[in-house]
Amino acid sequence: MTSHDLPPRRYAYDEIAAWPDEARRELDDGTPILLYAPGLCPIIAHSRCVSALLMALADSSQGGEPILLVDWQIDNWNSVAPDLCFCSSAPTVRADGQCLIAAPDLTIEVWDERTHENDTQRKPALYARQKVPLFWLVDAQKQSVLVHSHPTANGYSSIQELTQDDVLICPMLPDFALPLTQLFDF
């Protein structure tokens, strides 16, 4: 079943979570969005982000938990599937353990041309409204990271583009410092 095969109606999170195939989906006001696996370059960039975050966690006294490939159910009609999230304390999950139900402290999306509109327009606005303190959009093609911070009801009030000569830092992880030359060294 693909998103194109669905009858036009509003779907609830529990309905799409029960679908049998393994495709990842998100909901935008009850409309399913089928997610595609990224190409090779975004997968390498994503892996490097995850590795760097895990190393920073191991070295940091702050604790926290990185979460891979999990749904975040915002409400009955809206859900997202971030590439990676980080919760500085124990994540709040549904009773069945299937998804997050509270905002993470950091979300990371790896840009892909097939998910461009979703990653650059819908998700930053949604994450800001849900008060996610930090959102990184990694773009392996441009070899840059857009760092969104200071969420408001109208979006993030600060968006900074980091490029090859910059170092990615995370305020909630004082020991985390990832030179972008390492992130995009492939």
Q: What is the pLDDT along the chain (186 residues), one digit of tens a residue?
A: 455 566 778 888 888 877 776 667 788 888 888 776 656 666 776 677 777 776 766 666 466 777 766 788 899 899 998 888 888 877 787 767 778 888 899 998 888 777 788 889 999 999 999 999 999 998 888 889 999 999 999 999 999 999 989 999 988 888 788 889 888 876
Instruction: Tell the residue number behind the tokens 């997050």, with chain if given.
Output: 100
**Residue 29 phi, psi dihedral angles, 5° rounding:** 50, 45
Residue 25 lies in a domain: no
Q: Is 142 inside any structural domain?
A: yes
140 falls within a domain: yes
Give the Cα separation of 130 and 107 in Å (integer).
Answer: 12
**Spatial CB neighbours of 148, under 8 Å, sequence gap ≥ 6:** 124, 127, 128, 134, 135, 136, 137, 156, 158, 159
Instruction: Indicate whether 149 belongs to any domain.
Output: yes
CA 36 to chain centre: 14
Question: What is the domain count for the chain?
Answer: 1
Instruction: Measure the CA–CA gap between 158 and 90, rounded to whole angstroms.
Output: 27
Q: Which domain, by its residues, includes 165?
A: 38-183
Q: In whole angstroms, give the CA distance from residue 143 to residue 137.
A: 11
CATH number at 144 reads 3.90.1570.10
Residue 108 included in any domain = yes
Rounded to two decimals, what is the model's pTM? 0.83
In a domain, 9, yes or no: no
Residue 29 located in a structural domain: no
CB 162 within 8 A of CB 144: yes
In a domain, 130, yes or no: yes
Helix, strand, coil % over all residues of the chain, rounded to 5: 25, 35, 40
